Amino acid sequence: MLAEGTELISSGGTPPESWPALVLNADYRPLSYYPLSLWHWQATIKAVFLDRVNIVDCYDRMIHSPGTEMRLPSVVALKTWIRPALYPAFTRFNVFLRDRFTCQYCGSTEDLTFDHLIPRSKGGLTRWDNVVTACSPCNLKKGARYARDIGMMPRHAPRRPTVYELHRNGRAFPPNFLHESWMDYLYWDSELEE
């Protein structure tokens, strides 16, 4: 636990939540690209004092406690390598990410939900190979019918993605805020300078 009285000193009244740390695995790759592996500043400081991370880079912000003053870390690397999972959890968000936040019937990116190719009313299961991202109008149009029976075949056959595939897809959707100290570790498809 952080010492009582630990506070973030920041200019311009910027709230502490505005200073997350990018968390890298021991191989200096982000634990996750999407969502980006970030820790709140307090969790980061706690990990530093528990000697669980190495500080890679810092913000120009200071934290103070009764006996300590230090720059706030912007990038940390775990000291112990965490083996990434080969396959991601089956969640609504990961289905959307697999399908690049696009309706698999019409290509819309608005009002997304998911659709069962084999309808649940006909015994279809909620799993990777039977669920696709669909916009609400297409989902309503298809209803409880088989997609093939009404000519609404998805653009890509649904399947279980690997974590690597979701990371690759996630890199196409960078978060709203990317601190300059993170860029060397994210490789957001930028061209390298000669």
pLDDT digits (tens, 9 = 90+) for 184-194: 777 544 444 55
% of the chain with per-residue pLDDT over 90? 56
The CATH number of whichever domain residue 99 belongs to comes to: 1.10.30.50
Assess whether 80 and 126 both reside in one domain: no
Residue 146 lies in a domain: yes
Asked if the model's pLDDT at residue 7 lies above 80, the reply is: no
Q: What is the pLDDT of residue 166?
A: 87
Assess whether 11 and 72 both reside in one domain: yes
Q: What is the pLDDT of residue 144?
A: 93
Q: What pTM was computed for the model?
A: 0.65
Assess whether 64 and 111 both reside in one domain: no
- Which residue, among 59, 116, 52, has the nearest Cα to 82 in the 3D structure? 52
CB 41 within 8 Å of CB 72? yes
pLDDT digits (tens, 9 = 90+) for 95-134: 999 999 999 999 999 999 999 999 999 999 999 999 999 9
Last residue of a domain, one of 51, 84, 117: 84
Residue 193 lies in a domain: no
**Considering the chain, what is the average pLDDT of its residues?**
84
CB-neighbour burial class of residue 53 (10 A; exposed 0-12, middle 13-18, buried 19+): buried
Number of domains in the chain: 2
Residue 175 lies in a domain: no
